[in-house]
Amino acid sequence: MPFFRPHRKVAPGGPRLGATPRTITRHALDSALACGASALPNEFGGVLRADPPGVISELLLLPGTTAGHRHANFRLFMLPADLTVVGTVHSHPSGALHPSAADLQLFRNWGSRHLILGAPFDPGCWRAYDGNGRETHLDVVGAPGDVPARLRPYRPRGRRALPSSPRLPEDEP
Ligand code: ZN
């Protein structure tokens, strides 16, 4: 009996589905910074997809995510059962780039890479953190505008229960 294995479109030796991303596309980063700027004076929040694995390439705006002056309310139960979703992104209108206590709680709860963006949302106004809230590095790939727009609202086809949907009161001044 021949033994068939499903063919996987993964580069040999490359990152696999669920791998911790090391890279973000310039387009995804610029889109997130633009969202942060347009949400002012409120916070903006979303989640990050890595597709292909290892490369954060898409920003998802979850339905029902509300943003306030001092908080972004993530409704993570709206997330798909999707291993390409790797973490969160949100903005700090104060310009602070360090995580608040509530942010650390969110980071530890779920996801391997999290971005914090700060006003005035210039190209360098961001930091990446791991699931323990430690600052980490992401390579930015691609020139501005050379990747097709992939910013779109996420429309759920099925729901998956996640541990919580924490509210994020900001404790920055
Ligand atoms: Zn925050």
Question: Is 36 contained in some domain?
Answer: yes
Question: Is 115 contained in some domain?
Answer: yes
Confidence class of residue 80 from pLDDT cuts 50, 70 and 90?
A: low
Ligand 1 center from residue 71 Cα (angstroms): 7
Mean pLDDT of the 7-23 span? 73
Domain count, the chain: 1
Q: What is the CATH number of the domain that holds 131?
A: 3.40.140.10
Confidence class of residue 79 from pLDDT cuts 50, 70 and 90?
A: low
Neighbours of 18 (CB within 10 A): 12
Look at residue 159 and tell me whether its pLDDT is greater than 80.
no
Ligand 1 center from residue 44 Cα (angstroms): 10
d(CA 2, CA 147): 42
Distances (CA, A) of 126 to 15, 18, 162: 24, 23, 26
Better-scored residue on pLDDT, 19 or 96: 96
Percent of the chain residues topping a pLDDT of 70: 63
Q: Which position among 43, 135, 170, 172 bears the catalytic label? A: 43
Ligand 1 center from residue 116 Cα (angstroms): 7
Question: Is 121 contained in some domain?
Answer: yes
Q: What is the pLDDT of residues 46-64, one digit of tens each?
A: 889 998 889 999 998 876 6
Q: What is the pTM of this model?
A: 0.73
Are residues 44 and 119 in contact, defined by beta-carbon separation less than 8 angstroms?
A: no
Ligand 1 center from residue 23 Cα (angstroms): 22
Question: Is 153 contained in some domain?
Answer: no
Confidence class of residue 11 from pLDDT cuts 50, 70 and 90?
A: low
Question: Is 56 contained in some domain?
Answer: yes
Q: Which domain holds residue 85?
A: 23-70+81-144
Question: Is 97 contained in some domain?
Answer: yes
Is 135 designated active site?
no
Q: Which of 61, 58, 59 is nearest to 73 (CA)?
A: 61
